[in-house]
């Protein structure tokens, strides 16, 4: 155990001549370098905190303002202190310590600093007012009116020159609270096509009663919260939707991200892990230094970056009634799982981050380790895959002291979790359907005991070098993890690369301490709980039916030529496919973001509208092509308008959700809210956005396409559909459902999606041929 010897900084022996002290200089050197690294990190965080705190101000701006102020007063022969020093001198004997000229300089600097701070406050508030206007969303793509261009120019002027990741947080407007009347009206409009006349009239009566009686009272408390908190939705959404759920988070909450479809940079598992882990740690360094550029719509409009704060060093901790999120400021190690054993791997040595070849060296040591799992260790992570309450009780009973607590702390406080999977996954040209479906299921749940589902993210590297991510959902939404994953996929083959043999570039470290095997003492009673959780998790995993469709017939490029939004086109195709699949319409969830507001997360777009249903009925009926095309354009326009409303804080579901929470706090029972929140989402959809398009040149390298990611079904008799629009010619669909439902079949639904996409495109192609 070389690492154990190097961890001891000194030893001593007691003899007749006194105490003989033996110092280990290498250990002391590592301690010194580690401390130096920590202090550098603290200084950088402090500096970034100051720079973010005064943004859009800057040190150069401070010098310009103070110098200009002092020069103006000197030219006009005015007192730069505005008499403040003289007034202060009446109470404090300043003249004893400073000359008159010095007093003027100090006073001028203080007044100039106040002027600089005033300018910053004015710029922030002007920017906040500018960002509260959302008229730019209604402009046609590619043709912005003059008013919008002037508005964008003003936003750029007041946004400063070099923003860091969190620079705009204090300038973002707060999420507005819609009126009860507007929300109720939009809700009725959304459910009308899903109800018969009798049920709709009943719902109208419930809605009217709520709008006139209980609603205004609940709204008052909600507005009070919106004035007091940064965001009136996000904290309750995190707590009640995610952390208070007592069912398994595996499949039901966690989601996954896939590797490249057609590129396999190396088949060496340890090498792929080395590059991927190094790329993730580089991203974390940029995140710690706030060097990641804030995401900007139209390269001008900033989006909230709050969700990035808990990306690393974060774990969900189970509780009997509710979970909590544990986040530590820094972590210098990762936790690795391989064949039933857990390891701690330090990411720093000699005061620096390990290089890819050195990380590969550590992974090779783990892969070569022939030791057996300790009793109960192999399936331990099944606790994170099963129900939350048994896991919380087991954690308190068996992991709150001794070596079990130490090992659990190492996992929960790790930067992230890595699984060196002993299976092989990738797209197989001879068997594309089955191989991709198996790959998706492996990332979604694996063996139910070989991922630590509570960690903010799990990097999974398979035996043949393919990789993927599994992410916990409560701390952030998928686009945040997607931003990291794009960075990793770009860095791996393009910046880091491999040698001719498939290993990471560079040389192994001759003195690098090896990984540390975690130690456990898992008693038989705890092992029974583990097996019970594993049984629950396996039943859930075996019930999931996943299907991946790389749709290559056409993509965004051709859809845009039809002058229709690609997202709206796909949503209409999903509605048509669902109707053909089940013969009925259903309540549909499409995730939209509200990150135009401070600490914004998501809002629901209810895609199944009156216009959508009219279009679908036309497609399965006898209407003419012209009628179908007209109805499609109307449905797409309605969908786009609803998406705009959701993005600008005028959605339906988050408002009703918060009103429901307030009603529970007040002890009020609302039949309207109770019914609204109990309605199942039988079609849950989400688009995975490509956020860093500049990283991937799909024209020159079309093979570098990501297959996106997916999630489990929300309803027992419904579908979960995630899709990613890649480049101009590819759309990848990830479909999930439950095998236990006789109404659903992911493969059948995939066929219907493909047919719907082609049938809809044919409407436009026929129109173009006619023209």
Average pLDDT score over residue span 278-290: 96
Q: pLDDT digit string (tens) for 249-283?
A: 999 999 999 999 899 999 999 999 999 999 999 99
The answer to whether residue 9 scores a pLDDT higher than 60 is no
pLDDT of residue 142: 67
Q: State the maximum Cα–Cα separation within the chain, in Å, rounded to a whole number.
A: 106
What are the residue ranges spanned by the domains of the chain?
10-48, 56-135+144-159, 180-245+649-678, 248-544, 552-648+680-764
Q: Phi/psi zone of residue 268: left (φ > 0), alpha (ψ -120 to 50 degrees), beta? A: beta
pLDDT band, residue 1 (cuts 50/70/90): very low
| Host H or E run for residue 90 | none
Alpha helices in 461-588 (DSSP H): 478-490, 524-542, 556-561, 566-582
500-538 residue pLDDT tens: 999 999 999 999 999 999 999 999 999 999 999 999 999
Q: What is the pTM of this model?
A: 0.91
CA distance 515 to 521: 20
* Nearest partner of 302 among 176, 175, 172, judged by Cα: 172
Shortest CA distance to 280 belongs to which of 458, 46, 34, 503? 458
CA dist 279 and 33 (Å) reads 22
Answer whether 248-544 and 552-648+680-764 agree in fold: yes
User: What is the topology classification, in CATH, of domain 248-544?
Assistant: Chloramphenicol Acetyltransferase (3.30.559)
Instruction: State mean pLDDT over 360-385.
Output: 97
Q: How confident is the model at residue 11 (pLDDT cuts 50, 70, 90)?
A: low
Predicted confidence (pLDDT) at residue 720 exceeds the cutoff of 90: yes
User: Does residue 5 surpass a pLDDT of 50?
Assistant: no
Multiple choice CATH, 552-648+680-764, 3.40.50.1000, 3.40.50.1220, 1.20.140.10, 3.30.559.10: 3.30.559.10
pLDDT score, position 57: 83
Is the pLDDT reported for residue 700 higher than 60? Answer: yes
pLDDT at 701: 82
Least confident of 157-161, 358-362, 637-641: 157-161
- Active-site residue list: 473
pLDDT at residue 28, rounded to an integer: 66
The fold adopted by the segment(s) 180-245+649-678 is Fumarase C; Chain B, domain 1 (1.10.275)
Instruction: Write the pLDDT tens digit of every residue in 394-445.
Output: 999 999 999 999 999 999 999 999 999 999 999 998 999 999 999 999 999 9
Determine the average pLDDT of the residues in 584-601. Answer: 96
Mean pLDDT of 30-51: 73
Rounded CA-CA distance 262/432 in Å is: 11
Distance set, CA 247 to CA 446, 536, 660 (Å): 18, 10, 21
Pick from 25-39, 42-56, 289-303, 572-586 the range whose average pLDDT is largest. Answer: 572-586
Higher pLDDT, 274 or 55: 274
How many other β-carbons are positioned within 10 Å of the β-carbon of residue 315?
26
Task: Please give the share of the chain, as a percent, with pLDDT higher than 90.
Answer: 77
DSSP state of 495: I
Higher pLDDT, 102 or 541: 541
- pLDDT at res. 105: 81
Q: What's residue 543's pLDDT?
A: 97
- pLDDT band with cut points at 50, 70 and 90 for residue 2: very low
DSSP state letters, 621-661: TT--HHHHHHHHHHHHHHHHHHHHHHHTT--SHHHHHHHHH
Report pLDDT for 89: 63
Mean pLDDT of 605-619: 97
How confident is the model at residue 90, as a pLDDT?
Answer: 62
Residues 6+ apart with CB under 8 A from 105: 70, 80
Helix axes 269-288 and 356-368, enclosed angle (nearest 10): 130
The predicted structure's pLDDT at residue 416: 98
Q: What is the mean pLDDT of the chain?
A: 91
Closest of 673, 660, 659, 669 to residue 226, by C-alpha: 659
N-terminal to C-terminal alpha carbon distance within the chain: 78
Read off φ and ψ for residue 94, nearest 5 degrees.
Answer: -65, -35
Is the per-residue pLDDT at 452 higher than 70? yes
pLDDT in tens, 107-123: 888 888 999 999 999 99
Q: Report whether pLDDT(763) > 60.
A: yes
Least confident among 46-55, 160-169, 615-624, 644-653: 46-55
Average pLDDT over residues 589-606: 96
Measured CA to CA, the distance from residue 703 to residue 693 in angstroms comes to: 15
Residue 768 has pLDDT above 80, yes or no: no
Confidence (pLDDT) at 4: 40
* pLDDT of 143 strictly over 90: no
Q: Of the ranges 30-39, 66-75, 354-363, 702-711, which one carries the lowest mean pLDDT score?
A: 30-39
pLDDT at 3: 41
Q: How far apart are CA 521 and CA 523, in angstroms?
A: 6
For the stretch 214-223, pLDDT in tens is 999 999 999 9
């Amino acid at each position: 155990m070389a690492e154990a010897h190097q961890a001891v900084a000194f030893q001593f022996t007691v003899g007749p001549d006194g105490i003989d002290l033996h110092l280990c200089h290498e250990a002391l050197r590592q301690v010194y370098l580690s401390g130096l690294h920590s202090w550098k990190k603290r200084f950088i965080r402090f500096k970034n905190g100051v720079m973010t705190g005064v943004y859009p101000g800057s040190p150069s701006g401070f010098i310009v303002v103070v110098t200009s102020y002092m020069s103006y007063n000197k030219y006009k022969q005015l007192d730069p202190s505005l008499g403040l020093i003289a007034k202060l001198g009446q109470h404090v004997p300043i003249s004893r310590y400073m000359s008159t000229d010095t007093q003027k300089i100090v006073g001028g600097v203080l007044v100039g600093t106040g002027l600089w701070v005033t300018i910053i406050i004015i710029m922030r508030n002007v920017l906040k007012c500018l960002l509260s206007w959302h008229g730019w969303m209604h402009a046609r793509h590619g043709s912005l009116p003059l008013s919008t261009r002037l508005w964008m120019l003003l936003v750029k002027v007041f946004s400063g020159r070099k923003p860091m990741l969190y620079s705009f947080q204090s300038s973002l407007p707060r999420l507005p609270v819609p009126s009860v009347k507007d929300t109720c009206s939009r809700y009725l409009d959304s459910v009308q096509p899903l109800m018969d006349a009798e049920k709709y009239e009943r719902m109208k009566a419930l809605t009217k009663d709520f709008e006139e009686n209980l609603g205004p009272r609940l709204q008052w408390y909600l507005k009070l919260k919106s004035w007091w908190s940064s965001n009136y939705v996000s904290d309750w959404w995190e707590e009640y939707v995610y952390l208070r759920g007592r069912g398994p988070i595996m499949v039901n909450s966690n989601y996954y991200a896939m590797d490249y479809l057609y590129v396999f940079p190396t088949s060496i598992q340890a090498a792929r892990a080395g590059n991927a882990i190094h790329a993730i740690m580089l991203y974390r360094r940029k995140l710690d230094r706030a060097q990641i550029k804030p995401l900007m719509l139209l390269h001008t409009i900033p989006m909230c970056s709050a969700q990035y704060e808990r990306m690393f060093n974060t774990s969900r901790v189970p509780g009997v009634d509710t979970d909590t999120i544990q986040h530590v400021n820094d972590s210098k190690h990762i936790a690795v799982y391989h064949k039933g054993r857990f390891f701690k791997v330090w990411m720093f040595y000699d005061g620096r981050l390990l290089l890819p070849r050195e990380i590969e060296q550590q992974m090779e040591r783990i892969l070569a380790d022939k030791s057996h799992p300790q009793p109960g260790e192999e399936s331990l992570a099944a606790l994170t895959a099963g129900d939350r309450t048994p896991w919380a009780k087991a954690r308190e009973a068996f992991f709150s002291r001794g070596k079990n607590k130490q090992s659990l702390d190492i996992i929960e406080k790790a930067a992230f979790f890595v699984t060196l999977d002993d299976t092989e996954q990738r797209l197989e040209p001879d068997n594309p359907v089955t191989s991709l479906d198996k790959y998706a299921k492996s990332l979604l749940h694996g063996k139910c005991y070989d991922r630590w589902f509570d960690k903010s993210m799990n990097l999974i590297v398979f035996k043949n070098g393919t990789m993927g991510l599994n992410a916990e959902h409560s701390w952030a939404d998928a686009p945040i993890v997607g931003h990291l994953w794009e960075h990793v996929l770009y860095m791996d083959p393009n910046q880091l690369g491999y040698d001719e043999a498939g290993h990471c570039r560079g040389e192994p470290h001759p003195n690098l301490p090896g990984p540390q095997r975690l130690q456990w003492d898992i008693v038989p009673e705890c092992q029974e709980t583990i097996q019970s959780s594993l049984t629950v998790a396996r039943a859930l995993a075996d019930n999931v039916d996943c299907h991946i469709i790389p749709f290559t017939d056409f993509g965004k490029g051709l859809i845009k030529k039809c002058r229709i939004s690609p997202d709206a086109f796909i949503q209409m195709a999903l509605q048509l496919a669902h109707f053909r699949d089940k013969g009925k319409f259903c309540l549909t969830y499409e995730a939209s973001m509200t990150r135009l507001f401070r600490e914004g997360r998501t809002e629901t777009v209810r895609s199944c509208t009156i216009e959508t249903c009219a279009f679908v009925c036309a497609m399965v009926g006898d209407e003419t092509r012209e009628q179908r095309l007209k109805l499609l354009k109307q449905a797409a326009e309605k969908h786009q308008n609803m998406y705009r409303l959701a993005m600008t804080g005028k959605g339906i579901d988050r408002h009703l959700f918060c009103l429901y929470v307030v009603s529970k706090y007040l002890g009020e029972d609302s039949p309207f809210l109770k019914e609204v929140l109990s309605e199942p989402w039988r079609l849950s959809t989400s688009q995975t956005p490509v956020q860093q398009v500049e990283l991937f040149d799909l024209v020159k390298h079309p093979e570098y396409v990501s297959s996106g990611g997916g999630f489990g079904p929300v309803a027992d008799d419904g579908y979960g559909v995630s899709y990613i629009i890649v480049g101009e010619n590819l759309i990848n669909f990830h479909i999930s459902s439950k095998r236990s439902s006789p109404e659903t079949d992911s493969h059948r639904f995939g066929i219907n999606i493909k047919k719907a996409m082609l049938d809809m495109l044919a409407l436009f192609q026929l129109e173009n041929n006619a023209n």
